[in-house]
């Protein structure tokens, strides 16, 4: 096997399942993360995040000695960088995590190693990564000014809740800074990938991920905007969409309280950053989706009327059903905004996939994690924000308690 060892930098929602999947295909994987708690849990064979079947698979490969974690990267044949790429307040990409990863792995690189950037990035980031590596290790720059290390971009395209499955079955796009790098990337990902492996240049691969998520974001924005129109006109948006989707060439998505996660809520801004003049539709879709949580808050305030100290049951904090990922979650934003709007009241957050509130919500004295039924029994208003499977059957509610169903599940 050309790639016998792999170092995965960033052991979060993408990095850890990637490490486990390569290990299950016979590769010795060294994981690196800056979170000491993550490192300790992984080395005990315990998954520090919620993803179906991940805990069982991780325990097995750790017991077999195929995966271990550390606070520093280890020398390996290939490196996969899977660190966050959030946006800054001005909506431009924060590449500091990638730059830090480059500084971490540079000392253990050797000529002929492969570096794969999986973090979603604006076009040109992979080239910047190569420059950061060269700055730390000028000895890895050849006589023709090219790196003696192959660098590629291979964006992840997996669905939370099905990550282990889709890492294997989905097609992969690999963009190399050189044709040789792309071919070596194909060799690496060919170890785990049963789908097609499509080769291109790095900038095209970077843009492809942003385009895929922008396409989805624009379609969600249409549904969310339609829900606003229907509310104004007194039309049931769920019935309307169901009827319209009977057209053989129409497939309108379901509206919701907004768009969250580290992909759809972030990636379109990378296209806007790259070409702000010609990305007007993409920008508008982002603005529509970003505004939807505040619309939900306004609906909640209207339902509460003159109440000064209401108890609000906020059902769900994650950005999608049946996961524990709260990144960019509109539900999280709604819960926090309602808590600040009613400081004398209480927000009872029901999130079955977490055991403690995130710091921003924990800092609010009137927000608490609550049991589902207890929250319903005490609530003056119920807001269904995430359609976790635990919430799909509408429970008996006290007469007269208003409900805001942002997911259309309790119609």
| Same-domain check for residues 266 and 231 | yes
Secondary element (H or E) of residue 394: none
Task: Please name the residue that has the structure tokens 């800074």.
Answer: 177
d(CA 343, CA 63): 49
Q: How many domains does the chain have?
A: 2
DSSP, residue by residue, 276-326: SSS-HHHHHHHHHHHHHHHHHHHHHHHHHTT-SS-EEEEE--SSSTT----
- What is the distance between the alpha carbons of residues 58 and 386, in angstroms, rounded to a whole number? 28
- Which residue is catalytic, options 209, 210, 292, 320? 209
Residues 166 and 246 in one domain: no
Same domain? For 235 and 189 the reply is no
Residue 50 is predicted with a pLDDT of 85
Under 8 Å between Cβ of 253 and 223: yes
Q: At what angle do helices 202-233 and 125-136 cross, to 10 degrees?
A: 130
Pairing of the two strands 172-176 and 150-153: antiparallel
Residue 238 belongs to a domain = yes
> How far from 380 is each of 204, 366, 405, CA to CA, in Å?
51, 15, 15
- 């829900």: which residue's tokens? 227
399 located within any domain: yes
**Looking at the domain assignment, is residue 15 inside a domain?**
yes
Distances (CA, A) of 56 to 15, 63, 72, 108, 216: 16, 11, 25, 31, 32
Per-residue pLDDT at 42: 97
**Which residue's structure tokens are 């390569």?**
22
Q: Up-side HSE of residue 239: CA atoms within 13 Å toward CB?
A: 6
End-of-domain residue from the set 167, 195, 223: 195
Please calculate the CA angle 320-356-302 and round it to the nearest 5 degrees: 60
Give which of 184, 199, 176 is closest to 130, Cα–Cα. Answer: 176
Give domain status of residue 205, yes or no: no
Are 223 and 191 in a shared domain?
no
| 79 phi/psi in degrees, rounded to 5 | -130, 135
DSSP letters, 136-160, are H-GGGB-TTS-BSSEEEE------T
Q: Would you call 328 helix, strand, or coil by DSSP?
A: coil
Domain shared by 288 and 186, yes or no: no
**Residue 365 domain flag:** yes
Give the H or E element holding residue 350: strand 346-350
In this structure, is residue 219 part of a structural domain?
yes
pLDDT of residue 1: 52
The angle at the Cα of 236, spanning 233 to 238, to the nearest 5 degrees, equals 135
CATH code: domain of residue 11: 3.40.50.720
Retrieve residue 306's tokens. 């003159």
Do 190 and 82 share a structural domain? yes
Is 7 an active-site residue? no
Active-site option among 7, 154, 210, 263: 263
The radius of gyration computed from the CA coordinates of the chain, to the nearest angstrom, equals: 23
Residue from 96, 107, 44, 45 nearest 72 by CA: 107
pLDDT given at position 166: 96
**Residue whose pair of structure tokens reads 């299950």 in the numeric block:** 24
Q: Confirm whether 209 is domain-assigned.
A: no
Residues 181, 230 within the same domain: no
Same domain, 240 and 387: yes
Given the structure tokens 């009977």, which residue do they identify? 246
Same domain, 140 and 237: no
Query: Is residue 204 situated within a structural domain?
Result: no
Q: Identify the DSSP state of 224.
A: H
Q: Is 209 a catalytic residue?
A: yes
Domain of residue 378, residue span: 214-405
Which pLDDT belongs to residue 346? 98
In this structure, the answer to whether residues 189 and 218 fall within a common structural domain is no
Do 175 and 280 belong together in one domain? no
Q: How far apart are CA 176 and CA 152, in angstroms?
A: 4
**Tens-level pLDDT at each residue, the chain (411 residues):** 589 999 999 999 999 999 999 999 999 999 999 999 999 999 999 999 889 899 999 999 999 999 999 999 999 999 999 999 998 999 999 999 999 999 999 999 999 999 999 999 999 999 999 999 999 999 999 877 789 999 999 999 898 889 999 999 999 999 999 999 999 999 999 999 999 999 999 999 999 999 999 999 999 999 999 999 999 999 999 999 999 999 999 999 999 999 998 888 899 999 999 999 999 999 999 999 999 999 999 999 999 999 999 999 999 999 999 989 899 999 999 999 999 999 999 999 999 999 999 999 999 999 999 999 999 999 999 999 999 999 998 888 888 999 999 999 998
The answer to whether residues 281 and 143 belong to one domain is no
């Amino acid at each position: 096997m050309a790639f016998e060892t792999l170092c995965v930098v960033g052991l979060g929602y993408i990095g850890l399942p990637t490490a486990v999947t390569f290990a299950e295909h016979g590769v010795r994987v060294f994981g690196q993360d800056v979170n000491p708690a993550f490192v300790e849990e992984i080395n005990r064979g315990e998954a520090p995040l919620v993803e179906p079947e991940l805990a069982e698979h991780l325990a097995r490969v750790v017991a077999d000695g195929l995966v271990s974690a550390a606070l520093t990267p280890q020398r390996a044949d290939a490196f996969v960088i899977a660190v966050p790429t959030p946006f800054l307040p001005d909506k431009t990409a924060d590449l500091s995590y990638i730059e830090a990863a480059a500084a971490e792995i540079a000392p253990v690189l050797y000529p002929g190693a492969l570096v794969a950037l999986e973090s979603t990035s604006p076009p040109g980031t992979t080239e910047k990564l190569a420059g950061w590596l060269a700055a730390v290790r000028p000895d890895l720059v050849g006589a023709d000014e090219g790196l003696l290390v192959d660098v590629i971009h291979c964006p992840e395209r997996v669905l939370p809740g099905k990550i282990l499955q889709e890492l294997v079955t989905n097609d992969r796009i690999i963009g190399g800074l050189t044709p040789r790098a792309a071919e070596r990337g194909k060799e690496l990902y060919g170890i785990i990938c049963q789908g097609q492996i499509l080769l291109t240049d790095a900038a095209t691969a970077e843009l492809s991920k942003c385009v895929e998520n922008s396409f989805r974001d624009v379609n969600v924005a249409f549904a969310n905007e339609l829900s606003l129109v229907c509310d104004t006109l007194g039309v049931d948006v769920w019935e309307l969409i169901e009827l319209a989707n009977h057209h053989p060439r129409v497939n309108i998505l379901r509206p919701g309280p907004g768009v969250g996660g580290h992909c759809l809520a972030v990636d379109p801004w990378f296209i806007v950053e790259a070409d702000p003049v010609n990305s007007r539709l993409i920008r508008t879709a982002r603005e529509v989706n970003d505004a939807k949580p505040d619309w939900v808050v306004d609906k909640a305030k209207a339902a509460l009327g003159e109440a000064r100290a209401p108890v609000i049951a906020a059902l769900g904090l994650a950005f999608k059903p049946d996961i524990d990922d709260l990144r960019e979650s509109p539900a999280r934003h709604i819960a926090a905004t309602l808590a600040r709007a009613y400081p004398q009241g209480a927000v009872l957050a029901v999130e079955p996939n977490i055991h403690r509130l995130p710091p921003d919500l924990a800092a609010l004295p009137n927000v608490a994690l609550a049991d589902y039924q207890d929250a319903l029994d005490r609530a003056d208003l119920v807001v269904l924000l995430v359609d976790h499977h635990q919430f799909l059957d509408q429970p008996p509610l006290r007469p007269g308690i208003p409900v805001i169903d942002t997911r259309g599940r309790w119609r």
